[in-house]
Amino acid sequence: MEKIRLKYSGRHAYGIRELTDIVRGSIVFQNEVDMCAFLARLERHDVPASGFSYSVVKSKNRFAKPADGYSDMMINIRLTHGSDTKGHIVELQVHHQLMEQAKKLFHCVYKFLRVVNEDRQLHGRTFEIMAKPVFVSRYLEPLRQAANKYPERMENLISLPNFDNRFGVGEVNCTKFQLNCKYEYKLEETFNTLMTAMREAYRSVQWLQTGCIKNLTLTNVPAVPVDQVPNRSYAQVSCT
């Protein structure tokens, strides 16, 4: 709902149709060679799909262009089966193990930064306005959840200079959520501090860069029906 409201429905009335990650999954690789081999097999339709046909609709290679320092590959795949030619678009995320380990600490930070950025871009709000309780309480929800669920992960973030750690449930809410409430959260300072910390953490992740990861762009090749792929046995996969 957050993505529909902030990212899609601001442009037109059919934002729900743009959701392509309701069904999604991740594969985490320990090395670049296996990652490259898998992506090559995916492109030539040499990956078991349990009776489904698939085609790559879109891919975003953030190994080539990191997002705020984070690198992964996001692939939208259309799954079809039998007479269902429209199928369903799903999202497959391809990660490197070292980057995935760094992500665990900063995932809540990413969610916080994303919702703040989207609100700024779509509605043109300034940090001064967004710092009011009527807005900021929603922005801080990922940080609040992380503080309750993973307090040990938040300790290093809370100690960062210029990080406003007043994000408890009772600390950012005014009784009537008035825009002129006296309480103002240091949103801009916290935003900049967390953005810098996240970028530095991701940049510190080092692994051998192989050319295929940075240069690969999956092409949109029509799906090949499973029964038409020669000399290939496909495993039957069930979800539990």
Hey, where are the domains in the chain? 2-97+208-228, 100-203
Most confident by average pLDDT, 2-11, 59-68, 138-147: 138-147
What confidence tier does 234 reach under pLDDT thresholds 50, 70, 90?
very low
Instruction: State the average pLDDT over residues 46-60.
Output: 82
Dump pLDDT digits (tens) for 55-92.
Answer: 888 888 888 888 778 888 999 988 888 888 778 889 99
Rounded to the nearest 10 degrees, the angle between the axes of helix 97-123 and helix 151-158 is 60
The Cα–Cα gap between 130 and 180 comes to 12
- Mean pLDDT for 186-207 is 87
- Determine the pLDDT at residue 92: 94
How many angstroms separate the first and last alpha carbons of the chain? 26
**pTM greater than 0.85 (yes/no):** no
Give the pLDDT band (50/70/90) at residue 240. Answer: very low
> In whole angstroms, what is the distance from residue 151 CA to residue 159 CA?
13
Contact predicate 185/136, CB 8 Å: yes
CATH of 2-97+208-228, one of 3.90.75, 3.40.462, 3.30.450, 3.30.460: 3.30.460
Alpha helices in 27-140 (DSSP H): 32-43, 97-123, 127-130, 133-139
- Give 161-195 pLDDT, tens digit per residue: 888 888 765 555 555 445 455 557 889 999 999 99
- The Cα-based distances of 208 to 58, 96, 192 in angstroms read 26, 11, 30
Tokens representing 186 are 């240091």
Beta bridge partners of 92: 25, 75
Q: What is the pLDDT of residue 119?
A: 84
Identify the three-state secondary structure at position 156.
Answer: helix
In order, the DSSP letters of 92-104 are: EEEEEHHHHHHHH
